[in-house]
Amino acid sequence: MTSSAHSARILVCDDDRAVRSALTVNLTKAGYVVTVCESGEEGLERLRAEPYDVLLTDVKMTGLTGLELLSEVRTHWPDTRVVVMTGFGSVSDAVGAMKAGAADYLIKPIGRDELLLLLERALESRALAREVQRLRREVDARYGFENLIGVTPVMQELYEQVNAVAESSTLVLIHGETGTGKELIAHAIHYRSPRARAPLVVVNCGALPENLLESELFGHEKGAFTGATRTHQGKFEQADGGTLFLDEIGEIPASVQVRLLRVLEGGSITRVGGERPVKVDVRVIAATNRDLRADVKSGGFRADLFYRLNVFPIRLPALRERVDDISLLAEHFLGRFAERHRRQAPTLHEDALRTLRSWRWPGNVRELEHLMERTLLLSGGGGLIRSIHLPDEGDLPTTGTGGSDDPLDELDEGGLPALLDRWERGLIVAALEAEGGVQARAARRLGISRSNLNYRIGRLRVTLQDVKFG
């Protein structure tokens, strides 16, 4: 028996006193909290008064029947699982109840083991449904419009475009520099569309070699190549009914471009090594940081595929084009990372915000996001972040506009700890220089205690030779 049994609330509704008594004894011994009633009308009153995890109801009762009670529960308390009970000669009623939405049924006389097993199954089904709802709420929270932070005119125009295209199945091509949030826009479109309950499948086309990309997109049959020990469904099939997001679409090789165009035009795929076409219903959203028109002119990208994809183009602005959003974004990231790392969110001073607005941000929003997490970690949480706490713009580790999209490229052999140590050391040296080497004032400027500063100076081996006094 699962631990949920010890807190699960069961409502038993049956006009037979002997059945109510037997169920009460068995369920109470099993650790359930049991309430009994002798009519459908009384059952409704109980449900209105307090919540129940499972309703056990007889099908045939005087007055409000079990099926009518089931209908009321489905309408007003959909989170409550309903199990119907019926005699051997009325199995057809149980089948009808299942079609009407009952979780399961029991045939009288009811065996104890069967009863407990069925209730455990109903509670597991309820828990799974709740988890699905929770995950959907998390997805909505993560990819809803509230996470597309920005109030500038270019962002308002972007919101309008997303709203305009979301309800359709039109192909979308998202253009934008590295770090501008192309995948976030794809998620926002999907989760605001009629396909929101179907899968959103993401493929980074630039991260896979040609032979593997073909298999990943279109699938393969068993024996199609060495190592193909079983039939594999590709991403198009996995996204059937939903959305396929093709990131870095400009990186796909010519052979795959041809096959992709056929799928977009015909609505069916053929697995690698297969002959039978498989129909798929997939909305495609593609994204690139390349100039695909220039690639078309140079012969690197098929013109027919480009025009097929470019039905509804969306251009994401670079962060330097919306500097008035930087304060909103920075505070959003600091709050999110403070919650993740269980620290108090620091406050950004106006001089720090002026500094942030003056930078060019080649890595765009992603670069700002990484900077805010590092700033939070180095600040220790809480306090005031001033310009002195920020690195020089030239020292920022960025992904650049055309290089790797992977922030891990900035790590050396020492990994994240070494990177954070370098940042922390630089901040301490800068604070000491600004305060003429007076540790008490440098500690206040950094928002930490003097003993904490001394500890960090020792750990990072900061010496007087490192501090340049002006």
Q: 439-446 vs 450-460: helix axis angle to the nearest 10? A: 100
Give the CATH fold of the 3-137 domain: Rossmann fold (3.40.50)
Q: What is the DSSP letter of 232?
A: B
Contacts of 157 (CB under 8 A, 6+ apart): none
Q: Is the pLDDT at 467 greater than 70, yes or no?
A: yes
pLDDT tens, residue by residue, 100-141:
888 888 888 888 888 999 999 888 888 887 776 666 555 555
Assign 401 a pLDDT band (cuts: 50, 70, 90): very low
What pLDDT is recorded for position 408? Answer: 54
Query: 33 or 421: which carries more pLDDT confidence?
Result: 33
How is domain 144-317 classified at the architecture level of CATH? 3-Layer(aba) Sandwich (3.40)
> How many angstroms separate the CA atoms of 169 and 179, rounded?
26
Q: Is the pLDDT at 143 greater than 60, yes or no?
A: no
Lowest mean pLDDT among 204-213, 339-348, 408-417: 408-417
Q: Is the pLDDT at 398 greater than 80, yes or no?
A: no
Domain residue extents for the chain: 3-137, 144-317, 320-466
Q: Is the pLDDT at 73 greater than 70, yes or no?
A: yes
The CB-side HSE value for 237 (13 A sphere, CA atoms) comes to 15
What pLDDT is recorded for position 23? Answer: 93
Instruction: Give exposure, 315-346, as e/b (b: 16+ Cβ within 10 Å).
Output: ebbbbeebeebbbebbbbbbebbbeeeebebb
> With contact defined as beta carbons under 8 Å apart, do 438 and 450 qualify?
no
Topology agreement, domain 3-137 and domain 144-317: yes
Length of the chain counted residue by residue: 470
Assign 445 a pLDDT band (cuts: 50, 70, 90): confident
Q: What is the DSSP letter of 349?
A: -
What pLDDT is recorded for position 450? Answer: 80
Residue appearing with tokens 């035009």: 265
pLDDT tens, residue by residue, 265-310:
999 998 888 888 889 999 999 999 999 999 999 999 999 999 999 9
Burial class (CB in 10 A: 0-12, 13-18, 19+), 466: middle
Other CB atoms within a 10 A radius of the CB of residue 25 amount to 12
Q: Is the pLDDT at 400 greater than 60, yes or no?
A: no
What pLDDT is recorded for position 312? Answer: 97
Percent of the chain with pLDDT over 70: 89
Assign 396 a pLDDT band (cuts: 50, 70, 90): low
Q: Is the pLDDT at 65 greater than 60, yes or no?
A: yes
Selection from 256, 343, 342, 267 nearest residue 301 by Cα: 256
What pLDDT is recorded for position 402? Answer: 39
Q: Is the pLDDT at 154 greater than 60, yes or no?
A: yes
Q: Is the pLDDT at 74 greater than 60, yes or no?
A: yes
Mean pLDDT value across residues 175-179: 92
Give the CATH fold of the 320-466 domain: Helicase, Ruva Protein; domain 3 (1.10.8)
Average pLDDT, the chain: 84
Residue appearing with tokens 């960090």: 456
What pLDDT is recorded for position 98? Answer: 84
